[in-house]
Chain A
Amino acid sequence: MSEPAPRPRHRGQVMVAVGVAMLATLILIMILGPSIAPYSPSATSPNSLDGPTAAHWLGTDSIGRDLLSRLIVGGRGTLTITFVAVALALTAGLILGLTSGYIGGKVDLIIMRLLDVVFAFPVFLLAIAVVAALGPTVKNLILTIAIVYTPAMARVVRAPVLSIKRWDHVEAARSVGVGEFAIALRHVLPMAISPILVQTSLILANTIFTVTALSFLGLGPPPPDPNWGSMLAEARQFMELAPLTVIGPAVAIVFASLTFIVLANGLREMLDVGSR
């Protein structure tokens, strides 16, 4: 038996370390949120559209609210929606993708065709349509995003399952008498984890954009709770007067999605996804 050829996994490990550090920062901000924000995100001060001062490190917005505090608390809103929505999409995708790929045949055909119908719509249009129809609440936004990303998740799960279910150790488990449900969960799914991790990370990056974009359009959680998308929308009109009000949320959005892209690429190299 020949040994696998050596691969430069080191770079992947470094990227994953960076990605995890960035993610830890985001999660910390998310959890601590209001307790580390210097002001209440809705507290106003007389100094509106101020630049950075000792009191307000990033300045204030059009009605004198502290920008840093709003960014921190707004991040909590945006990220919570993103994580919960992707977690839902992942759960649905795992169930559908595993069922579809493992059982195969007609079941596979039906599930995949149904998902194709959802997948055929541009993600964004579909999201706008659903939120517009159901109303812009946090719950609806989460549900919408979960629905929109479920087909992609299901496909990511299904593809490796299709080949793993033919591997020898799966047949060995069946020959021992292990039930099909247990085989799917214990012998097939764990082998598919690497590509699923990578894709989940990429979908998280996309979801950040979708969530902020929908909020930007006013389809996100209603005011007064801040979130990065609506902050951008509010600040747009004062862009020339106070550029920080736009740059702040923009940088935050890019940082968050970069986190997941770095993580995805690092994982891809470290776990050697795609070479099997």
Chain B
Amino acid sequence: MTAPLLRVRDLSVTFPARRGRPPVKAVDRVSFDILPGRTVGLVGESGSGKTTTGRAILQLQAITGGSVSLLGKDLTKMSSSDVRAMRRHMQFVLQNPYSSLHPRMKVADILAEPLKVHRSVPAERIPERVAELMTLVNMDPASVRRYPHEFSGGQRQRIVIARALAVNPDFVVCDEPVSALDVRTQSQIVDLLHDLQDKLKLSYLFIAHDLAIVRAVAHQVAVMYGGRIVEFGDADDVYENPSHPYTRNLLEAVPIPDPARQRAKLAASVVDPQFRGRDGETGPCVFGHDHADGTSEWHEVGPGHAVSCRFWPPGVTP
């Protein structure tokens, strides 16, 4: 059994009350592991807390509880300068390649910045490393004297990825890395992420709302709803045998590029279920357990495949 590269335990983020609104539990006791060289896909709809989870793991968002350990070190107990040093191991690819690059910095400077910050290569070797990074993401090293706006969206996302890889990280959080791109560019970027994982043994947390894209990249999948993970398991198990009603609802809604099947899908009459919490409720859960004794809400449905007993619509049973 390999030790996990990343270990997230009971991670919680609560946004304080504002203008008479109650505090929002954006992330609520989220736990999972990522093994070296593996990809965990985090899927959910807007407001599910998936982006906040990614930012909280990277310590870009103040947390209210839980822990995040990378390479065995608990990031949540570190000083901010120690966290900064740890950023060499964890990197971030943001959704929008149009806004995540400094518009007035040349590509060469954008790629050199992390190298300088972490002093990972001697100053005289920086241009060489920058060219190497451009080649790594299949871009022309000669174009580093240009500004971001001179590139297409897909090329910019390659530059964002190159920046993330500059310091040889072990772990990259990709937050909707392809959702701003056209479909052909999407598949190119997905292929690139694949190749880089094989080559550099990277681990990814791949956050996306597009379930088809996640299927293409993830070894394991976590489905988020209302700030919580409701289902976790190997990608094949979750997609082929979705066991939480929310996961089923989500997968059912994905349009399929097959006219006959998609027509049949739309023709089926569907009642939109109401997913409700279980916090504070007493008595047995849908699996017949009473969690008043503090036992886990997680119920195994297969090897490494588990669902939460929270958010089950009334009348639905496993």
Q: Do A's and B's CB atoms come within 8 Å in the complex?
A: yes
Q: Is B292 in contact with chain A by the CB < 8 A criterion?
A: no
Residues in chain B near residue A8, CB distance under 8 A: none
Known: A174-B60, A176-B117, A177-B88. A168 touches B163 (CB 8 A): no
Asked if A173 and B98 sit within 8 Å, CB to CB, the answer is: no
Q: From B88, B91, B96, give the contact of A168 (CB < 8 A).
A: B96
A-contact bits for B132-167, CB 8 A (1 contact / 0 none):
000000000000000000000100000010011011
- Quick one: CB contact mask for B57-87 with A, threshold 8 Å, 1 for yes? 0101000000000000000000000001101
Chain A contacts of B2 at CB under 8 A?
none
Given the complex, which residues of A lie within 8 Å of B95, measured CB to CB? 168
Number of A-B contacts defined by CB within 8 Å: 61
Chain A contacts for B96, CB-based, 8 A: 168
B92 at the interface (CB under 8 A from A): yes
- Interface set, chain A 101-160, CB cutoff 8 A to B: none
Would A169 and B113 be within 8 Å (CB), given that A176-B163, A177-B88 are in contact?
no
Residue contact A172 to B94, C-beta cutoff 8 Å: yes
B117 touches A1 (CB 8 A): no
Pairwise interchain contact A177-B118, C-beta atoms closer than 8 A: yes
What are the residues of chain B within 8 A of A251 when measuring CB–CB?
none
Q: Mark A169-192, 1 if CB is under 8 A from B, else 0.
A: 101111111110010001100110
Interface residue A167 (Cβ < 8 Å from any Cβ of B): yes
Contact A175 B99 (CB under 8 A): no
B184 within 8 A of A: no
Q: Known contacts A177-B117, A178-B113; is A169 also within 8 Å of B101 by CB?
A: yes
Interfacial chain A residues near B87, Cβ < 8 Å:
175-177
Give CA–CA (A1, B180) in the complex, Å: 8
Q: Is B103 an interface residue (CB 8 A)?
A: yes
Bound Cα distance A176, B118 (Å): 9
Chain B contacts with A in 113-141, Cβ cutoff 8 A: 113-114, 117-118
Q: Is B21 an interface residue (CB 8 A)?
A: no
Q: A171 touching B102 by the CB < 8 A rule?
A: no
B104 in the interface (beta carbon within 8 A): yes
B317 at interface, CB cutoff 8 A: no
Which one of A167, A168, A169, A191 has the highest number of Cβ atoms from chain B below 10 Å of its Cβ?
A: A169
The verdict on A169 contacting B117 (CB below 8 Å), with A176-B87, A179-B84 known, is: no
- Would you give the shortest CB distance from B230 to chain A, in whole angstroms? 28
A177: contacting residue among B85, B94, B99, B153, CB under 8 A: B85
In the complex, what distance in Å separates the CA atom of A1 from the CA atom of B181? 9
Question: Which chain A residues border B101 with CB–CB below 8 Å?
Answer: 169, 172
- Shortest Cβ distance from A186 into chain B, in angstroms? 8
Contact: B100 with A178, CB < 8 Å? no
Q: Is the CB of A176 within 8 A of B100?
A: no
A residues near B153, Cβ cutoff 8 Å: 1
A175 touches B84 (CB 8 A): no
Are the CB atoms of B163 and A177 closer together than 8 Å? Answer: no
Instruction: Check A169 against B85 for contact (C-beta < 8 Å).
Output: no
Interface bits B215-255 vs A (CB < 8 Å: 1, else 0): 00000000000000000000000000000000000000000
Query: Does B102 lie within 8 Å of A173, measured CB to CB?
Result: yes
Q: A177-B85, A177-B88 are in contact. Are A169 and B102 (CB under 8 A)?
A: yes
Q: Please report the C-alpha to C-alpha distance between residue A177 and residue B114 in the assembled complex, in whole angstroms.
A: 7
Chain B residues with CB under 8 A of A182: 117
A187 to B99, CA, bound (A): 12
User: How far does the Cβ of B115 sit from chain A's closest Cβ, in whole Å?
Assistant: 10
Asked if B99 contacts A178 (CB within 8 A), the reply is: no
- Would you call A176 and B98 a contact (CB within 8 A)? no
Q: Are B117 and A175 in contact (CB under 8 A)?
A: no
Min distance, Cβ A82 to any Cβ of chain B, angstroms: 30
Find out whether the CB atom of B99 lies under 8 angstroms from the CB atom of A167: yes
Residues of A57-104 whose CB lies within 8 A of B: none
CB-based contact A176/B99 at 8 Å: no
Q: Which residues of A contact B103 (CB under 8 A)?
A: 169, 191
CA distance A168 to B60 in the complex (A): 12
Question: How far does the Cβ of B19 sit from chain A's closest Cβ, in whole Å?
Answer: 18
Residues of A within 8 A of B167 (CB): 176-177
Apart from the given pairs A171-B100, A172-B160, A175-B91, 5 other A-B contacts in the complex at a CB distance below 8 Å: A1-B98, A1-B153, A172-B100, A173-B102, A176-B113
In order of increasing CB-CB distance, the 9 nearest A-B pairs are: A177-B87, A175-B92, A168-B99, A168-B100, A176-B114, A172-B100, A169-B102, A177-B117, A177-B84
Show 17 residue pairs from A and B whose CB-CB distance is below 8 angstroms, ordered by the A residue: A1-B180, A169-B100, A169-B103, A171-B100, A172-B100, A172-B101, A173-B102, A175-B60, A176-B87, A176-B92, A176-B114, A176-B164, A177-B118, A179-B84, A186-B102, A190-B104, A191-B104
